């Protein structure tokens, strides 16, 4: 008998290197698992995870009583009576072996936890001399180490901690590790909400994950679940035969969804911030994929859901309208509205499929052409849901190039916190983000910076200018911008507020001529536009590409009394123990004085309030007891439609356009921002205001603390002649 303790001690210290290393006591007391890093919304909802192995920790208090009791009664009903090893169970196993009547395994939950930690810990190697003698010695030594680890676990952890650790270190198949992720994956629940039959399904999988998987082997899973339920009845947890008979007849009701970056809320947001997080992790010594970080964001899950719903609802309609407008024709056209020859042939060369086939067959081979046109089973996106079809690579490209794309972002104007981010119409099929990654011509939404520069210079919202397009002498010749409806203006005099509300090109061109494009660039940069801007006259029409992210941030400076806040989306990062590693605060700067900012808010309200304003078509419900403003934007060929909307607290923007600039509506009016982009904003705001749980309510914009330094009542405004004396222009200038 003395030999057994000596053997145990020899294994524990790896005597003469015969048995292979044992983990240190510290490693056992602090078991390390690869843990996914979780992204959490401002209102406490999980938005998703970054993981190599999809694992997330749950504490004992996160487990439902049904789950705990199901696990114990099924796997180790004397769990609370033993100290890691159940000698009664060992005798039962030995009896079964001797009588050739197996009666189940003898491993306790603690031993199973030890095994999980053993197999997942590279420090617990089997590299000793004895371990190289064969399978049986290896198994004996491994089992011995599990016993030793079990004793350590029982000494250093409570029973409750051991239960939670075991469930956290167990795999449930389909890249699902730990009970928290398993509950979410199979039942779309947290572990504290699992009922008896759901707990029995998951506990049953512990015996053989693949054989008893409810997705791949539903019949086996059903039988195993009922075996587990039978144990619960036998041990009295299920009180009556009637209850047991009732539960065991219930079908397994799954809500199965494998977690990945295409699923759940804010997939574009999660993908975009991944690069920021990886950079942060590299600088701070963490691994995003297995450090178990908690990343707290500014995104509000309710507002994010409303944004995604608003885009889906409108884009479903818009895509149908777009397809009908091009029925029988291809939507990729040149500047003369003629079909672009060889469009798909040129675009297929940009795909990974083409590059892969070229590497295999050669660029000019017949095999390449055959493979590109070879039809194969394929699942494709549609607004009526995914559909299975037979498509070649060329068919697929032709299919996807016909879809309109979109982007939407909403931000708290006073804090800089981004509340909703929708980068595209479907992350699974369209990866490109149209909030921060994409840049397109902003059209007339850029006029806000032209008017802002003029207001800052001394112009007022009530000042009047004639609708006459000025001339610009350029190296390439004379340039005069046309108005949206064509022509160079009819000479009608408009206040600046009316002109901006109607988006009259001729008057924004006059302003940029008077204030100088260089000053407009400076103003735009101060308010947050970081993309390159050319100080040229055509800047007044929004010809330089910018991102939706930049525009929303810049418009927020108007609402926030002239203070620009860099839009931000991460508030703090915690380690796996809940310690705050870093907290993030918004960065601000004074972009303009509060007088200029408020006048621009008043100007933007003109789109709703002035006759002919491009925001007049907004729903009446949005306007009741509420001050809002907005600006549409449409590029010359209607390849980009924009809408920037402001309320007293929120600034939000939407963009709609083709995958490429050559893909657009056949007419400017059909593709205008008022039709394509504005409804997304209005639908979103209606949903936000309807949710009483959100802090964003209707109300009035804040006025400057010092009061308004001019009258905004244009009927009472004293007309001051423009220093350039525009009235001296002759009728010959009006064409």
Beta bridge partners of 478: 473
CB of 574 closer than 8 Å to CB of 293: yes
What is the C-alpha to C-alpha distance for residues 454 and 92, in angstroms, rounded to an integer? 90
pLDDT digits (tens, 9 = 90+) for 396-417: 999 999 999 999 999 999 999 9
Q: What is the mean pLDDT of residues 364-377?
A: 93
For residues 320 and 532, what is the distance between their CA atoms, to the nearest angstrom?
35
Tokens 């590409």 appear where? 545
Of 25 and 74, the structure prediction assigns the larger pLDDT to 74
First to last CA, the chain: 112
Which residue's entry shows tokens 């609402």?
559
The percentage of residues in the chain with a pLDDT greater than 90, rounded to a whole number, is: 70
Q: Hey, which bits of 200-354 come out as E strands?
A: 294-297
Parallel, antiparallel or unpaired: strands 176-177 and 54-55? parallel
Q: What is the pLDDT of residue 716?
A: 77
340 to 12, 38, 345: CA distances (angstroms): 75, 46, 11
- Better-predicted residue by pLDDT, 157 or 533: 533
Q: Cα separation of 182 and 177, whole Å? A: 7
For residue 32, the model assigns a pLDDT of 56
The pLDDT of residue 25 is 54
DSSP codes of every residue in 666-693:
SSTTTT-HHHHTHHHHHHHHHHHHH-TT
DSSP codes of every residue in 53-89: SEE----GGGS-HHHHHHHHHHH-TTTTTSSS--HHH
Across the range 444-470, mean pLDDT stands at: 97
Domains of the chain, first to last:
3-33+53-248 (1.10.3810.10), 338-401 (no CATH)
pTM of the model: 0.80
Q: Indicate the pLDDT class of residue 728, thresholds 50, 70 and 90.
A: very low
pLDDT of residue 36: 83
pLDDT category at 77 given cuts 50, 70, 90 is confident
- Long-range contacts (CB closer than 8 Å, 24 or more residues apart) made by 217-221: 218/252, 221/252
Tens of pLDDT, residue by residue over 215-261, are 989 999 999 999 999 999 999 999 999 999 999 999 999 988 876 67
Lowest mean pLDDT, pick from 50-59, 597-606, 671-680: 50-59
pLDDT of the residue at 730: 35
**Quick one: pLDDT band at residue 95, thresholds 50, 70, 90?**
very low
- Please list, in sequence order, all residues whose beta carbon lies within 8 angstroms of the beta carbon of residue 38, skipping any fewer than 6 positions away: 46, 48, 49, 56, 293, 294, 295
Q: How confident is the model at residue 286 (pLDDT cuts 50, 70, 90)?
A: very high
pLDDT confidence of residue 321: 95
Residue 88: pLDDT band (50, 70, 90) is low
15, pLDDT greater than 50: no
Instruction: Compute the mean pLDDT over every residue in the chain, rounded to the nearest whole number.
Output: 87
% pLDDT > 70, the chain: 86
Q: Which residue has the higher pLDDT, 726 or 699?
A: 699
For residue 545 the two structure tokens come to 């590409």
Q: CA nearest 681: which of 421, 447, 410?
A: 410
**Is a pLDDT exceeding 90 seen at residue 126?**
no
Query: What's the Cα-to-Cα distance from 233 to each of 194, 225, 251, rounded to whole Å?
Result: 18, 13, 18
For 350-417, the DSSP string reads TSHHHHHHHHHH-TT-HHHHHHHT--EEEEE--TT--EEEEE-HHHHHHHHTTS-EEEEEEEETTT-B
């Amino acid at each position: 008998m003395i030999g057994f303790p000596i053997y145990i001690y020899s294994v524990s210290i790896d005597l003469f290197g015969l048995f292979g290393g044992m983990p240190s006591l510290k490693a056992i007391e602090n078991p390390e698992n690869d843990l996914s890093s979780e992204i959490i919304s401002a209102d406490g909802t999980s938005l998703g995870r970054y993981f190599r192995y999809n694992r997330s920790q749950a504490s004992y208090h996160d487990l439902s009583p049904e789950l705990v009791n199901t696990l114990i009664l099924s796997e180790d009903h004397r769990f609370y009576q033993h100290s890691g090893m159940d000698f009664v169970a060992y005798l039962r196993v030995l009896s079964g072996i001797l009588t050739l009547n197996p009666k189940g395994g003898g491993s306790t939950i603690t031993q199973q936890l030890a095994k999980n930690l053993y197999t997942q810990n590279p420090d617990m190697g089997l590299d000793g001399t004895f371990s190289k003698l064969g399978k049986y010695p290896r198994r004996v030594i491994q089992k011995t180490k599990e016993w030793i680890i079990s004793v350590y676990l029982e000494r250093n952890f409570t029973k409750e901690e051991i239960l939670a650790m075991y469930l956290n270190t167990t795999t449930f198949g389909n890249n699902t590790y730990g009970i928290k992720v398993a509950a979410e994956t199979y039942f779309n629940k947290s572990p504290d909400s699992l009922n008896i039959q759901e707990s029995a399904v998951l506990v049953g999988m512990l015996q053989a994950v693949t054989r008893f998987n409810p997705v791949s082997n539903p019949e086996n899973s059903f039988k195993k679940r009922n075996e587990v339920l039978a144990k619960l009845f036998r041990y009295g947890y299920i009180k009556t035969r009637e209850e047991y008979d009732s539960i065991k007849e219930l079908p397994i009701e799954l809500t199965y969804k494998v977690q990945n970056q295409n699923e759940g809320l804010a997939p574009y947001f999660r993908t975009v911030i991944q690069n920021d997080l990886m950079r942060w992790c590299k600088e701070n010594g963490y691994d995003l994929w297995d450090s178990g970080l908690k990343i707290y964001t500014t995104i509000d899950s309710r507002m994010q859901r409303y944004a995604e719903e608003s885009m889906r609802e409108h884009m479903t309609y818009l895509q149908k309208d777009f397809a009908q407008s091009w029925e029988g024709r291809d939507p990729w056209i040149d500047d003369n509205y003629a079909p672009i020859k060889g469009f798909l042939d040129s675009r297929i060369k940009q795909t990974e499929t083409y590059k892969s086939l070229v590497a295999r067959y050669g660029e000019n081979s017949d095999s390449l052409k055959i493979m590109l046109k070879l039809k194969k089973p394929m699942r494709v996106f549609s607004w009526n849901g995914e559909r299975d079809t037979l498509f070649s690579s060329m068919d697929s490209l032709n299919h996807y190039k016909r879809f309109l794309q979109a982007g939407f972002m909403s931000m708290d104007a006073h804090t800089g916190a981004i509340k909703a981010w929708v980068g595209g119409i479907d992350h699974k099929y369209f990866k490109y983000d149209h909030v921060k990654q994409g840049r397109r011509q902003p059209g007339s939404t850029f006029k806000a910076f032209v008017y802002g520069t003029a207001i800052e210079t001394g112009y007022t919202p009530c000042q009047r200018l004639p609708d006459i397009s000025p001339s610009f002498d350029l190296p390439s010749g004379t340039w005069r911008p046309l108005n949206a409806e064509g022509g160079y203006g009819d000479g009608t005099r408009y206040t600046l507020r009316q002109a901006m509300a109607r988006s009259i090109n001729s008057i924004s061109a006059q302003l940029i001529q008077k204030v100088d494009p260089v000053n407009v660039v400076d103003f735009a940069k101060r308010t947050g536009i970081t993309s390159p801007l050319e100080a040229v006259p055509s800047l007044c029409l929004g010809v330089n590409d910018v991102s939706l992210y930049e525009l929303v941030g810049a418009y927020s400076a108007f609402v926030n009394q002239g203070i620009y806040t860099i839009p931000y989306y991460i508030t703090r990062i915690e380690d796996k123990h809940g310690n705050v590693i870093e907290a993030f605060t918004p960065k601000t700067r004074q972009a303009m004085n509060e007088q200029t900012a408020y006048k621009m808010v008043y100007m933007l309200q003109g789109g709703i309030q002035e006759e002919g304003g491009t925001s007049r078509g907004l729903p009446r419900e949005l306007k009741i007891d509420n001050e809002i403003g907005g600006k549409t934007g449409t590029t010359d060929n209607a390849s980009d439609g924009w809408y920037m909307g402001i309320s007293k607290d929120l600034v939000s923007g939407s963009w709609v356009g083709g995958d490429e600039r050559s893909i657009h509506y056949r007419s400017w009016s059909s593709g205008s921002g008022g039709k394509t982009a504005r409804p997304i904003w209005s639908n979103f705001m209606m949903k936000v205001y309807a949710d009483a749980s959100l802090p964003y309510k209707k109300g009035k914009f804040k006025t400057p603390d010092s009061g308004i330094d001019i009258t905004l009542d244009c009927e009472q405004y004293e007309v001051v002649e423009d220093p350039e004396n525009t009235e001296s222009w002759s009728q010959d200038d009006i064409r």
